[in-house]
Amino acid sequence: MPMAQVAPIGIFDSGIGGLSVLQHIHQHLPHEDLLYFADSAYAPYGDKSEAEISARSLAVTEFLLQSGVKALVVACNTATTAAIKAIRSAYPDLPVIGIEPGLKPAASQSQSKIVGVLATKATLLSARLLTLQQQISAASGVRFELQACVGLVDQIEKGELRSAQTALLMRRYISPLIKQGADTLVLGCTHYPFVRPLIEEIVGELTAQPVAVIDTGAAVSRQLVKILTENKLLRTSPRAGQVNAFTSGSQSALTTAFANLLQLHPPVSTVRTIGQPAGIS
């Protein structure tokens, strides 16, 4: 088997959010080895500037490339909007798959033509999202109501998926969207699928109408298969894929997140020396 086919796939996020994408990839491609990087020492990315997010994303990409990955999944909407162009131009030969809020699938299924988009501040302020939103609105007549969920990533990083504080935040963010008539909510951050049960519960308290929730994790996994196939990089060996994880933050926190959220128990190592920490607040 050529070397690149047996190489692992790199996946990164600002923290544990990308585990919601890794879960789809691991189920979809069970023979692939996966290297996950949680940049938890710098989470959340959503409150940082585009330059800071881009610098961290490039540093993490370089680390994963040094670790031998054959492809990269940017399992973070915020890093995709801020840095995917820079990653692609720095590493033109590396297959790179990003994740973006599912505005298109949401628009095609909304009956009320009002879609709520839950994401980080940085994602919602990005030029990339603005362009996407304008194009889809013009083509579909859908109105997007954007809601930055400040503080939510911190709650999820702490493992507070159902605490009173998390529920309070979620209610504050979802309630105006439902009041404005949204019948579809886009989870525009990879952390949010982990609070999807809470979101659905709160929506149920706010309206008797059905509200669809859109998550693009499975679509990213399908896109990854397509790109690996086109590049003849799919692993053909029948052995079970191994997962290995790295974090710039706490080893035990990432170990616990893997166990609690995915029931996986990969080896986790702490890596503190990548990038230029002096440039990041």
Radius of gyration of the chain (CA): 18
Interface pick for ligand DGL out of 8, 9, 13, 215 (rule CB under 6 A): 13
Please enumerate in sequence order all residues whose Cβ is within 8 A of that of 63, keeping only pairs 6 or more positions apart, or say none.
37, 246, 271, 274
Let me know: does 21 contact 192? Beta carbons within 8 Å: no
What is the smallest separation between the CB atom of 51 and ligand DGL, expressed in angstroms?
A: 15
Q: Rounded to 5 degrees, what are φ and ψ at 72?
A: -130, 130
* Closer Cβ to ligand DGL, 8 or 46, answer by number: 46
What is the smallest separation between the CB atom of 17 and ligand DGL, expressed in angstroms?
A: 3
Question: Which residues from 101-160 bind ligand DGL, rule CB under 6 A?
Answer: 120, 123, 153
Residue 239, classed as helix, strand or coil, is: coil
Look at phi and psi of residue 154 and say left if phi exceeds 0, alpha if psi is from -120 to 50, else beta: alpha
Let me know: does 77 contact 148? Beta carbons within 8 Å: no
Residue 190 interacts with ligand DGL (CB under 6 A): yes or no: yes
Q: Is 76 a catalytic residue?
A: yes
Residue 61 interacts with ligand DGL (CB under 6 A): yes or no: no
Let me know: does 64 contact 35? Beta carbons within 8 Å: yes
Stretch that binds ligand DGL, among 39-47, 66-74, 197-205, 273-281 (CB under 6 A): 39-47
What is the smallest separation between the CB atom of 117 and ligand DGL, expressed in angstroms?
A: 12
Q: Which of 200, 236, 233 is nearest to 215 (CA)?
A: 200
Stretch that binds ligand DGL, among 8-16, 27-35, 65-73, 199-207 (CB under 6 A): 8-16
**Position closest to ligand DGL via CB:** 46
Stretch that binds ligand DGL, among 2-10, 27-35, 42-50, 220-228 (CB under 6 A): 42-50
How far apart (Å, rounded) are the C-alpha atoms in residues 2 and 7? 9
* Closer Cβ to ligand DGL, 7 or 152, answer by number: 152
From the candidates 97, 186, 187, 189, which is the catalytic residue? 189
How many residues in the shown chain lie near ligand DGL by CB under 6 A?
Answer: 17
How far apart (Å, rounded) are the C-alpha atoms in residues 63 and 37? 9
* Closer Cβ to ligand DGL, 35 or 153, answer by number: 153
Task: State the first-to-last Cα distance of the chain, in angstroms, to the nearest integer.
Answer: 45
Q: Is 149 a catalytic residue?
A: no
Interface pick for ligand DGL out of 71, 84, 103, 189 (rule CB under 6 A): 189
Residues with active-site annotation = 76, 189
